[in-house]
Amino acid sequence: MGEGVTRLVQGGVTSAQGFVASGVHCGIKPQKKDLALVVSRGPAAAVAGVFTTNKVKAAPVLIDMERIRSGQGRAVVLNSGNANACTGDPGLRDAREMARLTAEHLQLSEDLVYVCSTGPIGVPLPMDAIRRGIPEAVRVLGPDGAPAAEAILTTDTVQKAVAVQVTIGGQIVTVGGMSKGAGMIHPLMATTLTVLTTDATVPPAVLQAALRRAADQSFNRITVDGDRSTNDTILLFANGEAGAPEIAGPGEALDAFQAALNSVTVNLAKAVARDGEGATKLIEITVGGAQSDEDAQRAAFAVANSPLVKTAIHGAGVYWGRILAAVGYSGAEVQPDRAMVRIGPVVVAERGIQAGGPELIEQAGEHLAGQDVQVMVDLGVGRGEATVWTCDLSEEYVKENAGDLS
């Protein structure tokens, strides 16, 4: 593999050297795995984090935001089936106890352990179950990341795990990770629970900047329903086990690492969007010809969050007017008599009016009937461009969010 060339490999959160993980059922959920653990075996790793921008933050988010200031960590314990959000001081005590128990069983300093939770809001954590589960999760730690990726799922239908390798300084460096997320997905935050690991040597400040750039190009470009969660967290651990030179700042090594990290986060983010609650399609929306990249992103998210657009695509309906309407109320500058809409390979609107007859509309409908949908809009104003990912909106979304979300 050539210097700086990234390649996707099979694996996930334990693909990088020196990382182990586990996933167990401790009793938060009736049957499914509900407690996960990811650990760096070596010395304290550098850690970076991105957290929800929701002003109502879950207890584990508050704990992690305190600990991330040190830039160091060794482990993260995650539970599903309960968000430990809106639980007051008892919730904070429970989150700290999760970290303390994990640290004791791993024989680590407590401040090197991070905590994540996901599930229904406002319900106290069943700590008896967690107290039983943590020693078991420590006991079964191993090189297979799949049980951990399974244990963090809530309404997700599939596990989400990715790994990428890149050569830096003549050494193979691996970046891997796992995510959960299917609903309550919207940007300006981490969007999901995501744990990323790498055996690269990266100091905390450089790692934090790289993670922010990666999140902005991936997790902050997806939306399922426009809601922002109380628990969203991305943690990135870098333990240096690959033996590659330290990536201390700008240069070819950082560019190569950033490309690998971006590849992992984009793949995971698209997997989250594809697995949106009740979703049947992954929708990629690109807006070009905008006054700025920010304007393009504003317009793209308006289209991506429009229930009218998402339901039309679910039914393979070529209602391109709904797309232009969303662009028009987005706040982005647009020149209606220069605007163009393309669905897949088919230009369905040009200069703000329908392009072509029934045959072209039928071709566009055939594209919308597939599982991977591309929508492109040109605003006819400038050179700004942005791409976001979303999913269709089905009756299953309503059913899932009207019931038990554990």
SS3 content of the chain, % helix, strand, coil (to 5): 35, 25, 40
Residue 404 pLDDT level (bands cut at 50, 70, 90): very low
Residue 230 pLDDT level (bands cut at 50, 70, 90): confident
- Of 142, 161, 124, 155, nearest to 32 by C-alpha is 155
Q: Give the chain's end-to-end CA distance (angstroms, integer).
A: 43
How confident is the model at residue 187, as a pLDDT?
A: 41
Between residues 183 and 169, the one the model is more confident about: 169
Owner of token pair 């089905």: 394
CA-based R_g, the chain, Å: 22
How confident is the model at residue 108, as a pLDDT?
A: 95
Distance CA 214, CA 49 (A): 11
How confident is the model at residue 278, as a pLDDT?
A: 63
Q: Name the token pair of 337.
A: 């008599």
How confident is the model at residue 132, as a pLDDT?
A: 97
Residue 135 pLDDT level (bands cut at 50, 70, 90): very high
pLDDT digits (tens, 9 = 90+) for 80-128: 999 999 999 999 999 999 999 999 999 999 999 999 999 888 999 999 9
How confident is the model at residue 93, as a pLDDT?
A: 98
Q: 211 to each of 36, 77, 78, 181, 389, how far by Cα in Å?
A: 22, 20, 20, 19, 19
How confident is the model at residue 191, as a pLDDT?
A: 45
Q: Name the token pair of 355.
A: 């392009």
How confident is the model at residue 56, as a pLDDT?
A: 86
pTM comes to 0.82
Residue 185 pLDDT level (bands cut at 50, 70, 90): very low
Distance CA 333, CA 324 (A): 12
How confident is the model at residue 397, as a pLDDT?
A: 62
Catalytic residue set: 191
Asked if residue 291 lies in contact with residue 381, where contact means CB atoms within 8 angstroms, the answer is yes
Helix 307-314 with 320-329: angle, nearest 10 deg: 160
Between residues 156 and 202, the one the model is more confident about: 202
H/E element holding 272? helix 252-274
Mark 289-327 as b/e (b = at least 16 C-beta within 10 Å): bbbbeebbbbbbbbbbbbebbbbbbbebbbbbebbbbbb
Residue 327 pLDDT level (bands cut at 50, 70, 90): very high
Structural domains in the chain, CATH included, are: 7-274 (3.60.70.12), 282-401 (3.10.20.340)
Starting from the edge strand earliest in sequence, which strands make up the sheet with 7-9, in order? 7-9, 160-168, 171-180, 193-198, 233-238, 45-51, 72-73
Whether 186 has a pLDDT exceeding 90, the answer reads no
How confident is the model at residue 276, as a pLDDT?
A: 65
Asked if residue 199 lies in contact with residue 26, where contact means CB atoms within 8 angstroms, the answer is no
Distance CA 219, CA 180 (A): 12
Whether 184 has a pLDDT exceeding 50, the answer reads no
Whether 78 has a pLDDT exceeding 60, the answer reads yes
Whether 241 has a pLDDT exceeding 50, the answer reads yes
Distance CA 53, CA 116 (A): 16
Residue 53 pLDDT level (bands cut at 50, 70, 90): confident
How confident is the model at residue 217, as a pLDDT?
A: 87
pLDDT digits (tens, 9 = 90+) for 4-18: 788 888 899 999 999
Distance CA 235, CA 43 (A): 17
